[in-house]
Amino acid sequence: MKRADIRRKVTTMTSIKEWRKILDSLNEDQPIPAELLQDTRKGAIALVERHTKKQHRAQELKEQYEQMLRYENDAKSNGKRLIAGVDEAGRGPLAGPVVAAAAILPEDFYLPGLNDSKKIGRVQREMFFLEIMNHADVGIGIIEAEEIDQINILNASKKAMEMALTQLKSQPDHALIDAVELQIPISQESIIKGDAKSVSIAAASIVAKVTRDRLMEHAAERFPEFGFDKHAGYGTKQHVEALHKYGPTDIHRLSFEPVKSIAAKRR
């Protein structure tokens, strides 16, 4: 809202309700109207405090996002144009696939609060997933439990990541990867805890996590006794108890303990 428009409204409407509307119409970088700062009513003071906190939080998120662009900016300064972030979800569970995602974010992409998927609540994660899928170039790779048992989880994770890169619409010329190095024909940088340090890797972590969670929700429909929709295949007490009672399913990782021992006892 323009400053002149704010003054025009203030001269005729200064109720707390109107102040709230005016504040809600402001951009993050617009100052609080001087007239409101001088308003001594409790409701007005509370509005100022609330809006000030909102502005501070928005600034914190902006600074965090800019810090997480460091690796992307470094790559661009070295002539790289299309930069893909790569991450996986599901290394540790006893059941289900390992899922990887690659994401190339648009130049003007801004998603305040974007971070490691494990640090974001489920509802916000789903919202971020939709934003990323709607605006970014995304590729997904999935390796099922049977192949994980054949080639081990580290190799399966790498294979899923390499697969995700091949599923992008555009060919990236640089990859930022969470913690591992891949056999790929482009330059790459492996970043420890990269999903908390790079917006591109963070975006990939969101896509991988949400995609895998949805796959495990479908698995819960096939095997309701295991509660895969609640623990996503991780070794919770409920999951291990169900393993002892019902035995492994065809989506369990037979090379993982205690699945391996339980399966051996049931032969």
How confident is the model over 181-200, as a mean pLDDT? Answer: 97
- pLDDT over 70, % of the chain: 95
How confident is the model over 145-162, as a mean pLDDT? Answer: 99
Cβ(59)–Cβ(68) under 8 Å?
Answer: no
The fold of 70-218 is Nucleotidyltransferase; domain 5 (3.30.420)
Tokens 């305040």 map to which residue? 112
The reported pLDDT for the residue numbered 3 is 53
In the predicted model, is pLDDT for residue 10 greater than 80? no
C-alpha distance across the termini of the chain, in Å: 71
The reported pLDDT for the residue numbered 4 is 52
| pTM, to two decimals | 0.86
How confident is the model over 203-228, as a mean pLDDT? Answer: 98
* Strand 98-104 with 83-89, pairing: antiparallel
Q: Which residues contact 193 (CB under 8 A, 6 or more apart)?
A: 116, 178, 179
The reported pLDDT for the residue numbered 220 is 98
In the predicted model, is pLDDT for residue 18 greater than 90? no
How confident is the model over 243-261, as a mean pLDDT? Answer: 98
How confident is the model over 209-238, as a mean pLDDT? Answer: 98
The reported pLDDT for the residue numbered 266 is 86
Dihedral sign of CA atoms 175, 165, 155, 209 in order: positive
How confident is the model over 167-174, as a mean pLDDT? Answer: 98
Cβ(213)–Cβ(90) under 8 Å?
Answer: no
How confident is the model over 122-147, as a mean pLDDT? Answer: 98
How confident is the model over 8-18, as a mean pLDDT? Answer: 64
Residue 165's nearest CA partner among 248, 103, 80 is: 103
Domain ranges of the chain: 3-67, 70-218
In the predicted model, is pLDDT for residue 243 greater than 90? yes
Q: How many CB atoms lie within 10 A of CB 136?
A: 22
The DSSP 8-state label assigned to residue 38 in this structure reads T
